[in-house]
Structure 1
Amino acid sequence: MDAKLFHDQSLNFSGIGLASLLTITLGGSGFILDLMANRMPWYLNSLSLPLLLCAVVTAALGYWVVPLLQALKTGQIIREDGPQAHLKKAGTPTMGGIFFIPVAVVVACIFSNFAQDVVAVSALTLSYGLIGWLDDWQILRRKSNKGISPRMKLILQIIFAAVFCLWLMFNRDSSITNITFPWVNFVLPLGFMFWPFAGFVLVAESNATNLTDGIDGLAAGTVAIAIFALGVLISPSSPELMIFCASLSGSCLGFLAHNRNPARVFMGDTGSLALGGALAAVALLTNSLVALFILSGIFFVETLSVMAQVSYYKATKGPDGKGKRLFKMAPLHHHLELTGWSELQVVAVFYAISAILALICFLGIKF
């Protein structure tokens, strides 16, 4: 789409307007879906109560944590080769995942009466959050964009993924290794190959949400939509994990009160790695990998844009050691910014696409 045409025809979005609209939409949807499923919205085992409680608690907690992060000098280091408009964000506190992820985990565990599946997913989520925290801490300590090495990050992700898969192996029957395609009523038996595939899904999903976290409110909002939809889809068979999904979606919405444009805090790898791990862990436990693939459409495209950029650059590298770029900058959201889209326009369009994917997934699987 032509950037100028897009500017001329677009609405004047605002960060608070987008965040409020998303919160009202998901909160209202939860209320309606609870009533349709004969669940009272104010019950612990509903979609509405954990979502709204986590949203309110996280938003309120942010008014204490964000100034604390500022006082601790956790300001984000901005890439000099990125969009020039981002340079003004230097010094904005990062590592915001340390307050909104635990809120969701605590509420989900309490509301589900510490159900085994919820505790397992929570442990995986916090473990990936810990990897992200180590990376964020190293970035702040070194005052550069270099955190822990990519190799070390990958090794830690694989280790925690392997532990989760081992737990899954001994707590589920052999049917867990079958991937179900609900639309065509087809089952793909993977057998032992399911386990390395499951590990790949955990690592890939966490890195995909991490790549998506590059614009104010983008990752928090798109994950809020995706994990809310996943919670709705699994609610009949896994009500405890539905509570977890609703709680994490609510925490993302509460975080948006501070992360929406212009952001007062960034989630950092502490939040983004944890969110992807949570999505993947829930999908693996509930045999919802096909649904996860659809709901993660935005994260998938963002990852593909990075892979395509790197591959094309290497393939076109000349004698001078320089190659050509497929995009102005990767991931895709930065390319769109550099072609003339504003941050708010990118976020609005990505939210809309995420909502459409959620609706397609829900209608396709349910009906």
Structure 2
Amino acid sequence: MFQYLTFRAVMAAMTALLIGLLAGPWVIRRLTELKIGQPVRGYGMQTHLSKSGTPTMGGVLVLLSIAIATLLWFDLANRFVWIVLIVTLGFGMIGWADDWRKVVQKDPEGMRSREKYFWQSVIGLLAAMYLVFTISESNNYRVVELFVGWVRSGFDVDLPPKAGLLVPFFKEVSYPLGVFGFVFLTYLVIVGASNAVNLTDGLDGLAIMPVVMVGSALGVFAYVTGSAVYSKYLLFPYIPGSGELLIFCAAMAGAGLAFLWFNAHPAQVFMGDVGALALGGALGTIAVIVRQEIVLAIMGGVFVVEAISVMAQVMYFKYTKRRYGEGRRILKMAPLHHHFEKSGWKETQVVVRFWIITMLLCLIGLSTLKLR
């Protein structure tokens, strides 16, 4: 029974869910005792001032639940799960440092953007360099051979089609990226997904449920690409070992649902950057391994739009300030969920409607399994 991937995935989800539900009250009490409360910026939503002091850094609960459940149920020899775990915990450490400065050192801004992006870039680039050769070959010995061949060739070696950019809804359409193109794209996906989820995490339950849905959908893609039979039938690249990522995705779903129990409005605990940055990085890394970067952008459309809304707001404000002497805004407030709050939507309305949109986008993403 324990040899079946689907059984182990179900058990990983149940394990993470139970760990989160049982440990949640204790974690919240400890965070409260340590006075690790969420600071609310003075220029933020006035309706959120009442949330000041709510325990934050609850993402630690999510990461511990995921890590324990994954380590209990996945094949310890699987290299893809290890790299996802390393990236997830690495981004979690960055988020921890950011949150620590906010809540302990009483700096509402936390880690400065340049410092945060530097460490994100380090992890993202290292992961990209590892994945470009790991996805192309089936074992570590062949990975080393490919890397050596790439160096000896003057950094010019052809990668197999499965390392190219796959276009959804089309049969066997893959654009070759080359090593540097793959590394650059992977870096953008991992770091971009991490920051997009972090920007979305601004309302009770807003970020965690889309993470659960998108992560679960990516688990389906992992199962397909890791199966020689299903990948051939559905015209997907066969990536040996990627199926084990279903265990991680299931654990992430279980841990996320457990956290939602305490994070639903009115939230007893917030995820903080330690959770949001880590979960976003995990989604990006999984999407790269299963070669579904574009599908991730579709299913995680809420994350994408939230990130774009912030970039557009900042760029337009700086442009108008330089040209007209005063900054102007496109939205009433960025990220986008605050714009809808300013427009009269209740917090719960914004959250549930964004969940519904994410569910629809995930169904569109899953339809690419067959509509090709």
Q: Which residue of 2 aligns with 1:98?
A: 60
Residue type of the alignment partner of 1:359: L
Match of 1:262 among 260, 263, 266: 266
> What's the counterpart of residue 331 of structure 1?
335
Aligned counterparts of 1:107 and 1:175: Cα–Cα separation in 2 = 34
Please report how far the alpha carbon of residue 43 of structure 1 lies from its aligned counterpart in structure 2 after TM superposition: 7.1
What SS does structure 2 have at the residue aligned with 1:316?
Answer: helix
Tell me the SS of whatever aligns to 1:303: helix
Q: Whole-Å Cα distance in 2 between the matches of residues 233 and 366 of structure 1?
A: 12
Of 182-191 and 208-217, deviating more is: 182-191
CA distance in 1, matches of 2:112, 2:168: 40
Tell me how large the CA RMSD over aligned residues is: 1.8
* Structure-2 residue corresponding to 1:7: none
Please point out which of 169, 180, 193 is paired with 2:181. 193
Question: Percent identity among equivalent residues?
Answer: 40
Residues 121 and 320 of structure 1, relative CA distance in 2, 3 Å threshold: same
Q: CA deviation at 1:222?
A: 1.0
State whether residues 205 and 351 of structure 2, in contact with CA within 8 Å, keep that contact through their aligned partners in structure 1. yes
* Matching of residues 1-367 of structure 1 within 5 Å: 45-114=7-76, 115-173=78-136, 174-185=160-171, 186-191=173-178, 192-238=180-226, 239-317=243-321, 321-367=325-371
Tell me if structure 1 keeps the 8 A contact 2:128–2:182: no
TM-score of the aligned structures, taking structure 1 as reference length: 0.85
Partner-residue secondary structure (3-state), 2:207: helix
Q: Report the Cα distance in structure 2 between the residues aligned to 1:86 and 1:122, rounded to whole angstroms.
A: 33
Q: Distance in 2 between matches of 1:298 and 1:182?
A: 19
Q: Deviations over 1:169-198 (max 9, x none)?
A: 342324453011131121111113111121
Conservation of the 8 A alpha-carbon contact between 2:87 and 2:123? yes
Q: How many residue pairs are counted as aligned between the two chains? A: 328
The answer for unaligned runs of 5 or more in structure 2 is 137-159, 227-242
- Superposed displacement of residue 365, structure 1: 2.3
User: How far apart are residue 248 of structure 1 and its match?
Assistant: 0.5
CA positional deviation for 1:142 = 2.4
Q: Distance in 1 between the 2:221 and 2:46 partners?
A: 41
Q: How high is the TM-score relative to the length of structure 2?
A: 0.84
SS of residue matched to 1:340: coil
